[in-house]
Structure 1
């Protein structure tokens, strides 16, 4: 007899969502994480319409909406000029907007739901090795007893131990540019300079900058920059906004910031026998378009459904269907975010031409609607 039905390694948004989905359906789950505590910083902050749809099944959506703020508009700009206006409000969904909410709050709400359903996270525990047998997986850990499970899921991020030990390839590369991320307090000369219901993407000759509102009154700022500081200061962020067209605002404080590099990779397969992958263990890509956490959460709900059906006697081919359906979606997202990132980091002399072409594209309704469907995740239903 196995100790658990599904052993999940990694308790970020993907692992927590998978655990809640399985527990909701009566499946036995063990969820472990090497970290001593969950996320304490905002990190990923955008939850799209499709993610809100799938999280409704496990009664998490209403909790997120209660603590987040909604942005029904997304605009690509050149300074004050709007190149591409995108309006989510006309989309065929109960959630025609982007929900802005810090990742640490999202994880807290997911963990609360896991605990309501009878589960929890075993923390400060590192997976050492695992062995697959005919009827299950036996996994060993640093600081905990061995576990026998019917299936093992790697939701343990880009440097996934599960993926690496399973021998699953993770092809791709990294971008040349580093990115800076900062949550800052902004004051505008006019109320329209700091809207709380719109995500703005500034494409200037000096480079790209995303400015998005957060529930605590701060604004998330993300920008590619070669000399990104590890801890961006108020002066640095002010200079960034001034140089890249987000004028009319004064930065009075930076509450949190970081520097990171971006990779674009996808696992060769999402399934190898009784081993499955989801989230960043299966795919990583540019933050352009805010798709990363959303894609992982959607993986988790789809995988939870497949595992539940198999454990109830359904054919194992359902797990192949999960892998075969979700991997092409990741490839499409990587293509979209790669295109956006490469447009954003074009050589400086080409950037004015790019903006002119974007302005023309932004006047075509079909182009705007198509981008709205992709950014909202609804195209992947």
Structure 2
């Protein structure tokens, strides 16, 4: 068979989408014009939201083993410390702080996971053209590919474009890229830095001539500067990086063993549309970020996971209208991330003395009050995204019985749970980490019987590989009848009784951990209808080139 999804680009975004599809039983084809996985350590920081996506794909543990946990960030102006933020205090997540992981490590972990799931990447394969076909009973995309063995034209039901900021796919389908480019040139150097101290703290030294950012890495440091454009495109020399380090740093720092350096411009851009019929764009193809806050890689990973699970659901029987929620959810998240990075970069580049004094005063006040940690970190972590206006979430009849913390369109909170049957997990997040469509059924014995019927229906529909049912018993419920054991059907008991006794309720949580719908006890069938109903697909035959 031919894979129903073609992914163009095997960077972190494309690989995340591919792993999500294969993990949910939908094979895909992945092509990339590069000769192999990336080696340039462009993105460094993984925040909690992206790490939760990578946990669902089974790669977060390997990344954590290779990472350097970042302890905090500090801000300096006129040689004085004006603000500081401590990392590692985010609650309601398994990842309370950011990890420094060079991008090639992330790509390698995702590529290895894709291989384990049965997928491959066709390297040295370039897209020459893309057209959207609207004449048949269903839209499709026709793509011409070129590799070492010649050209091939294929027609696919769905195409995911993760081919970077210069996306040929985006240009081919006529989607513009809106925003601006900063009038500064930015320089990066990765190497070893003597005199930087031992704490894994990101330092921002903001001077009238420009900024210096120092980022600890697992094997050294990164230094980052902005300069006046001079027309040069070659990577900066060690001598230039050291001169800027001496001019802007605190003194006593020596850069050596530089293994990678780059000179580039930064952009703040977002495409007005993330989709053109069967073509869905993700990552740098639809949003370009400044380096501030390390948001580009993280936003791309979350794009990839979102488009991956939604395409898998549609291919396996969900209403194609589900894909309308992709742009509705991911574009606002991208706009916010790009805007925040843009504002932070503009703050770095202030030249007016009065504006700089005001900035430093505000920074001191926010830092002293703890507001930088309280307000800025959840935004950078991208754990607080609000999809309540999405067409893919809803409240059904009787939803008022569900806990207020389970809000449609918001990430499900973690809840302590006591294992009862067919599970050893002790929290809701541990259950949701599997990245499956999950039905939560709360109540006594009758709720359990409903849950058992729902699980039977899912198994009969061939969805037991992508769905789970979790029966949550009230804390004061006795032993009662236990449904038959079976992978994917677990029984737990609530342990937090502060809300008092509640009426039975049900909820559907998407693979991305977002609450999609809530209902009363009688709404379980309506929630069940949201779960993909077709059995898993067979893996496609190897691609034939012509």
TM-score (norm 2): 0.66
Partner of 1:373: 378
Partner of 1:124: 124
Partner of 1:161: 168
Residue of structure 1 aligned with 2:209, choices 206, 209, 224? 206
Q: Per-residue displacement from partner, 1:18-49 (whole Å, max 9, x unpaired)?
A: 11111111111000011112211211111111
Contact 1:195 1:213 in 2 (8 A): no
Q: Does 1:322 align with 2:326?
A: yes
- Runs (4+) off by over 6 Å: none
Contact 2:89 2:97 in 1 (8 A): no
Q: Per-residue displacement from partner, 1:160-201 (whole Å, max 9, x unpaired)?
A: 11111111121112110110011021111xxxx333422222
Superposed counterparts of 1:278-293, under 5 Å? 278-293=282-297
Partner of 1:221: 223
Aligned partner of residue 152 in structure 2, secondary structure:
coil
Measure the CA separation in 2 of the matches of 1:138 and 1:28: 18
Deviation, structure 1 residue 122 = 0.6
Partner of 2:97: 97
* Larger displacement relative to structure 2 (74-83 or 194-203): 74-83
Residue of structure 1 aligned with 2:368, choices 360, 363, 378? 363
Aligned partner of residue 36 in structure 1, secondary structure:
coil
Contact 1:128 1:139 in 2 (8 A): yes
Measure the CA separation in 1 of the matches of 2:216 and 2:296: 18
How many aligned residue pairs are there? 375
Deviation, structure 1 residue 54 = 1.2
Measure the CA separation in 1 of the matches of 2:20 and 2:79: 44
Measure the CA separation in 2 of the matches of 1:95 and 1:26: 27
Deviation, structure 1 residue 348 = 5.3
Q: Does 1:171 align with 2:178?
A: yes
Measure the CA separation in 2 of the matches of 1:207 and 1:232: 16
Contact 2:184 2:226 in 1 (8 A): yes
Partner of 1:152: 159
Measure the CA separation in 1 of the matches of 2:162 and 2:172: 14
TM-score (norm 1): 0.93
Aligned partner of residue 291 in structure 1, secondary structure:
helix
Measure the CA separation in 2 of the matches of 1:94 and 1:77: 31
Partner of 2:21: 22
Contact 1:35 1:125 in 2 (8 A): yes
Tell which structure's C-alpha radius of gyration is larger. Answer: 2
Deviation, structure 1 residue 249 = 1.8
Give the helix-richer structure, 1 or 2.
1
Aligned partner of residue 90 in structure 1, secondary structure:
coil
Measure the CA separation in 1 of the matches of 2:125 and 2:256: 40
Q: Per-residue displacement from partner, 1:44-100 (whole Å, max 9, x unpaired)?
A: 111111111111001010011111111131222236643222122221121122211
Contact 2:71 2:199 in 1 (8 A): no
Measure the CA separation in 1 of the matches of 2:370 and 2:377: 10
Unaligned ranges ≥5, structure 2: 386-410, 412-546
Measure the CA separation in 1 of the matches of 2:62 and 2:181: 35
* Larger displacement relative to structure 2 (195-204 or 149-158): 195-204
Measure the CA separation in 1 of the matches of 2:170 and 2:89: 40
Deviation, structure 1 residue 344 = 0.9
Partner of 2:108: 108
Aligned partner of residue 184 in structure 2, secondary structure:
strand
* Larger displacement relative to structure 2 (141-150 or 115-124): 141-150
Change (3 A) 1:80 1:64: farther
Superposed counterparts of 1:1-381, under 5 Å? 3-78=2-77, 81-92=80-91, 93-133=93-133, 134=136, 135=138, 136-143=140-147, 144-188=151-195, 193-216=196-219, 218-227=220-229, 230-347=234-351, 349=353, 350-380=355-385, 381=411
Measure the CA separation in 1 of the matches of 2:49 and 2:251: 33
Measure the CA separation in 1 of the matches of 2:76 and 2:181: 26
Contact 1:129 1:140 in 2 (8 A): yes
Measure the CA separation in 2 of the matches of 1:225 and 1:348: 17
